[in-house]
């Protein structure tokens, strides 16, 4: 029987052929912690009596949620990670000096590569599957076990084969594709399964599109999302000092899938996820007809804070002004993205239009800081979740969309279709 790409990655790591459903213990190539989750992992690590990391070069800490510190509690929490990183001379420690949202920063640094097994104490760790790796979120104590042993236990997931066909329309992106998938199968439609993205559409999708799709696999309940290595992946990695030699795997033609889902992307228009679930998807045409007034537009997060998002936003905002009743907040994914966006003039365009640009942070996405919604406020956001109270007040509402739609809506004051 043939194997999926996920089964092949685990087989290579454990040194024997494995299939979906098996319980295995696998080495881990990269363990990722952040300023919220890592202190719990550190406490468990130290309480165990451990004194050294099993694989120090395979452990990264990225302070990205509340950094620069938003209050005394977050400052004290960050210090726990700083002290641990200093004590263990951690090579891959990222603070204000080289900051970024973890799931944008690590691919940029070449620290996650094709064929890796990656875990992180953040649910959107599945982002890195866009590089042809197995990447998933786990709990903080699971991270501690990996810090101590260099590996962890996994149930090899079954896979759903998502076959995407056709070239996307002008303003249809990877964000819209994954929102459509979640609309079709629901927030629990892929529980403990891998969403394997395939088909003729893949060659038309940038790495940024692929990162967005894999990032939100968890919103369908998936254990991971994955896209096989191709020329686009190769080009993305070409200028990066890779931490390891990539290991390239492809699914066999006779691999077993629990389900095959086919989507005609050429017929797909931008998708808007209404409150209060990512699965509550509606067409942009419907959202425009519903005349939804907004108070805030947010462009950023580990889903859509990449250079292409800032580029399309700047193109739409050029020679326009943000509506007088709307706040536009833009958060680049990393300092490098911010630098490049500034060099290309995107930041000036956004600011000239009336937007505000923050440092790289997860703050607004989880309702932490830098963009909190007040009572009964409405936001259109490029983030990945729109649960009750996700970005602030429990009476606020969040509509999920791509960066082009968010920028266009910021101009009009209502959810609107983008034009150039």
Helical H segments across 139-249, by residue range: 140-149, 174-185, 207-215, 231-237
From 225, 242, 263, give the residue that closes a domain: 263
Task: Write out pLDDT tens, residues 341-395.
Answer: 999 999 999 999 999 999 999 988 999 999 999 999 999 999 999 999 999 999 9
Beta bridge mates, 153: 25
Of the pLDDT bands very low, low, confident and very high (cuts 50, 70, 90), residue 97 is confident
In this structure, what token pair is assigned to residue 382? 């490029």
pLDDT digits (tens, 9 = 90+) for 27-85: 999 999 999 999 999 999 999 999 999 999 999 999 999 999 999 999 999 999 999 99
Q: What is the spatial distance between Cα 116 and Cα 103, in angstroms, rounded to a whole number? A: 15
Give the mean pLDDT of 390-405. Answer: 97
Number of domains in the chain: 2
Same domain flag for 209 and 301: no
Percent of the chain with pLDDT over 70: 100
Q: Considering the domain boundaries, does residue 418 fall inside one?
A: no
Element (H, E) at 24: strand 23-27
- CB distance 362 to 101 below 8 Å: yes
- Mean pLDDT computed over 125-140: 97
Q: Which of 114, 137, 144 is nearest to 238 (CA)?
A: 114
pLDDT confidence of residue 182: 98
Q: Are residues 216 and 340 in the same domain?
A: no
- Give the pLDDT band (50/70/90) at residue 419: confident
Residues 242 and 388 in one domain: no
245 shares its domain with 283: no
pLDDT digits (tens, 9 = 90+) for 100-119: 999 999 999 999 999 999 99
CA distance 15 to 392: 47
- Residue 406 structure tokens: 């968010």
Domain check: are 98 and 241 in the same one? Answer: yes
SS3 168: coil
Strand locations in 339-388, DSSP E? Answer: 356-357, 378-381
We report the CATH number of the domain holding residue 348 as 3.30.499.10
Output the six-digit token pair for 142: 């699971």
Strands across the sheet with 259-264, in order?
224-227, 193-198, 158-165, 259-264
Asked if 285 and 321 sit in the same domain, the reply is yes
Structure tokens belonging to residue 322: 């943000």
Residue 89 burial by Cβ neighbours in a 10 Å radius (0-12, 13-18, 19+): exposed
pLDDT reading at 201 higher than 80: yes
Q: Assess whether 395 and 379 both reside in one domain.
A: yes
Check residue 63 and give its pLDDT.
Answer: 96
Question: Which residue range is the domain that position 359 belongs to?
Answer: 271-412
pLDDT (average), residues 273-279: 97
pTM over the 0.85 mark: yes
């Amino acid at each position: 029987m043939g194997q999926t790409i996920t089964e092949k990655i685990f087989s290579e790591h454990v040194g024997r052929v494995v299939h979906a459903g098996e319980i295995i213990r696998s080495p881990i190539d990269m363990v990722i912690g952040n300023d919220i989750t890592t202190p719990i992992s550190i406490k468990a690590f130290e309480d165990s009596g451990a004194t050294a990391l099993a694989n120090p070069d395979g452990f990264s800490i990225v302070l990205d949620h509340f950094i620069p510190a938003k209050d005394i509690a977050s400052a004290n929490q960050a210090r726990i990670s700083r002290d641990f990183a200093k004590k263990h001379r951690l090579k891959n420690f990222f603070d204000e000096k080289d900051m970024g949202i973890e799931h944008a920063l690590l691919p940029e640094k070449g620290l996650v590569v094709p064929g890796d097994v990656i875990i992180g104490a953040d649910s959107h760790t599945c982002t890195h599957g866009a590089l042809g790796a197995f990447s998933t979120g786990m709990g903080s104590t699971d991270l501690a076990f990996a810090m101590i042993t260099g590996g962890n236990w996994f149930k090899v997931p079954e896979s759903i084969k998502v076959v995407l066909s056709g070239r996307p329309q002008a303003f249809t992106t990877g964000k819209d594709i994954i929102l459509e998938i979640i609309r079709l199968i629901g927030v629990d439609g892929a529980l403990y399964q891998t969403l394997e993205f395939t088909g003729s559409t893949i060659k038309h999708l940038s790495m940024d599109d692929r990162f967005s799709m894999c990032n939100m696999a968890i919103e369908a309940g998936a254990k991971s999302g994955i896209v096989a290595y191709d020329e686009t992946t190769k080009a993305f990695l070409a200028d990066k000092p890779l931490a390891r030699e990539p290991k390239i795997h492809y699914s066999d033609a006779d691999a077993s899938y629990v389900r095959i889902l086919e989507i005609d992307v050429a017929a797909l228009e931008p998708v808007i996820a209404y409150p209060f679930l990512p699965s509550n998807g509606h067409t942009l045409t419907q959202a425009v007809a519903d005349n939804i007034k907004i108070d805030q537009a947010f462009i950023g997060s580990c889903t859509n804070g990449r250079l292409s998002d800032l580029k399309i936003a700047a193109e739409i905002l050029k020679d326009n002004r943000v509506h007088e009743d709307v706040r536009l907040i833009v958060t680049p994914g990393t300092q490098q993205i911010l630098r490049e966006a500034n060099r290309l003039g995107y930041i000036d365009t956004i600011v000239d239009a009336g937007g505000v640009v923050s440092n790289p942070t997860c703050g607004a996405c989880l309702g932490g800081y830098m963009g909190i919604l007040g009572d009964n406020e409405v936001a259109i956001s490029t983030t990945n979740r729109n649960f009750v109270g996700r970005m602030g007040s429990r009476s606020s509402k969040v509509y999920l969309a791509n960066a082009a739609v968010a920028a266009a809506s910021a101009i009009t004051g209502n959810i609107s279709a983008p034009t150039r």
